[in-house]
Copies of this chain bind each other. A is one copy, B any other.
Amino acid sequence: MNIEQFVAQSLGEWRSMRSGHSLAFQQFEDVLSEITITQLDTDNKEIKEAIKNSSQPDDSSYISPFKMEWNAESDWEPDDPTAVSSGSCIIIPIPKDQTSGHLLRSVGYAESFPAESSYRFLNDGTFILETNYEQSIAQERIWFVSEHVRCRSSVLKTSEGSGILQSSFASEVRRIKV
């Protein structure tokens, strides 16, 4: 698996069931959401901007940039069951070699500003993404269990020491392939 194949396999509309585990408080959060992943034109001007604002060289060669949009319904606000959070970000892979590289995100996962991650593939094609935020480190893994079903887990640790703050797991089923 390389990043180009991985992105190609991810394009489309996904229905996601996601469970968050707060380890300290032993609390669960279950969220249903719709995720749409679309390819970006490689000459999209936001891409150059994002690279310029990153630690990567301005002339970094990127591949398969894409946009991710999501609409989530959370169970954490029982008074308002229709509470929906939504958002979008653009993601730019900058390969180092066939199985690893960097990934720029216009909006980060754990904190709401641009994030820079490193990625690599395990020998079975599992995608591993590590992101250093200001106060935390996130490790995500994504693996396909069939053409239209993928699993995504994340673990959030404190930057200092080995404290695990929370974890999550999403089962994602592709409804529409684009």
Contacts and interface: CB of A to CB of B under 8 A. Distances in A.
Interface string A121-156: 011101010000000000100000111010101010
Interface residues of A, number: 29
A28 B23 contact: no
A71 interface: no
B17 A171 contact: no
B23 A149 contact: yes
Contacts of A23: 17, 149, 171, 173
Contacts of A112: none
Contact of A147 (B15, B126, B162): B162
A118 interface: no
Nearest to A19: B19
Contacts of A128: 124
A119 interface: no
A148 to B, nearest CB: 8
Given A26-B32, A146-B164, A21 B171 contact: yes
A123 B155 CA distance: 19
Interface of A: 15, 17, 19, 21, 23, 26, 28, 30, 32, 122-124, 126, 128, 139, 145-147, 149, 151, 153, 155, 157, 162, 164, 167, 169, 171, 173
